Structure 1
Amino acid sequence: MEACGGTHYWARYAIEHGHKVKSMSARRVKAFRQGQKTDANDAAAIAIAALQPQVKSTRLLSIENQCQQGLVRIRELLVTQKVATAKQIRDLLLDFGFPIPKGDSALFGALSEILEDAENSLGMDFRMAIESQRKHLNQLLARLADIDARLATQIKADETCQRLQKLEGIGPVNAIALKLTLNTVEHFRNSREAAACVGVTPIQHSSGGKDKIGSISKSSGCKGLRSTLFEGSMAVIRQLDKREARTTKEVWVKDIVARRGKKVAAIALANKNVRTAYAMLKNGTDYQPSMLAA
């Protein structure tokens, strides 16, 4: 079947009735469609694509994992809406000569002063609209706190998430996102495929026997997970700037920072974390960093 809305439900239904399911990305199936988009042409394309060994199936989630993924997706949307709302308030007030520092507490403090000042240049309708946006931002923060609490409960009760959090730069949100992405370990042939799925490996553009390795792709992979993995890795690097390395992995990170810079080192650490997480899930092992001799 083609991966679309309802795929997980119908896949589970088919598996319960003894069928073997191959769910394929619509982008992969489209390459085999001939003629215009009709139900008949789509069905023929799906049948042809299903016989091609190079067309991989997409991951199928259990009900529990699908519910956890739903919480993660809701959180991502709330974060996007919160950032967009706060940025719009800052940008609008900046045009009136009211620069506001970064941070939610600074924003709410400045809004209180600006809106209570009856002598500034803000019109009444605009002032009320900004007040409405402030209330909306407060509601988004409250809903985000509620989702974070629910996710924290899920993560605390999940043994896999607890193990993954022992990796450098992997917090609760990264742990559950990694678990959902890599939990079906048989979907990947090796750890490099897992890292490529997340999008932390360089893209390749080779021709005529010449291999050309570029940077990581901005359009492919799990962009949300890659972004949070990068932020977690940057946090580790900032801590390493303040102290000596304690493990062989931290020595490796410091060496890359010295040679290539912090951002390249952060992507390299994210890549290694994904590969390590894949090995942990595949072998059922815990993360054991190699400590330096005292």
Structure 2
Amino acid sequence: MPRSPSTAAGRTTSVPAEPIPVTPNLLREWALPEVGGSKYGRGQVLVIGGAARTPGATMLSALAALRVGAGRLTLAVARSVAHEVAVAVPESGVEPLDEDADGHVALGAIEGIVDDLARADAVLLGPGLDEPDGTRDLVARIAGAVGPDTLVVLDAFALGVVADVRAELRPLRGRLVMTPNSGEAERLLGRPLDDDVADALAIAERFGAVVALGDTIATSDGRAWAKGTGTGGLGTSGSGDVLSGAIVGLLARGAEPAQAAAWASYVHAAAGDRLAVQVGPLGYLASELVTEIPRVLVELGA
């Protein structure tokens, strides 16, 4: 089991006046669990997404999961692009998902990956999905398909339909991570946003999840952290897919949800800081963030 954070990491059952800053010292104190020597000892990740027009989002998440140290990777993407994804990401197994005539993941597509869901230590659902009906079906059925200890990350288009299937997600309370942008957060709350910290805490309590919203990481028991680094260059296409992939990879390695979200948020932002120096404050690519991740982890002693 991962070592619990100290009081400095914000362990409290009341809402803090200010989120605890996530710093290198805090993360070193909140050390990631030791990993096994085999790929199975480092955890099995399943990433589900990748409609025919947007498989790249799923690949970015998958590569980020490997870059943080996950051991075994499976990608589930639309059938028409599965072969190309398998060639582009040779480190991954690839499962084809049924799709409709327009290349959207179809209703019932989850039936093709039930064995993969049962085996996975951590599942990421959402990157590269682009149609509400098929996505809603996946989200509604995910809790009943994963193992009893599997951790689940919801990102991107999946978060746009979560409010419609809240009851079906109830079994995942305590093992769910959500990474909404501002528009997705408004849909989750059913109202305009007011304050990142209060809003993140409200979403976390509503869904029993760890929530990474903007600079804030919040839990359903009232803890909150602020990542405290990162530049405007992170606001680029694919950046959020890298963050969610880093979270699911750390979960597979054995981190608990709040720890995985705090570590991944900091590492993602610090990778952006490094690229802001090397490339410029704007214009670096999400795929370049993936390459920087292991270097940041080494600096943190992970």
Q: TM over 0.5: same fold?
A: no
TM-score, normalising length from structure 1?
0.24
Which structure has more relative contact order (CA 8 Å, sep 6+)? It is: 2
Q: From the two aligned structures, give the one with the greater helix fraction.
A: 1
- Structure of greater Rg: 1
More strand by share: 2
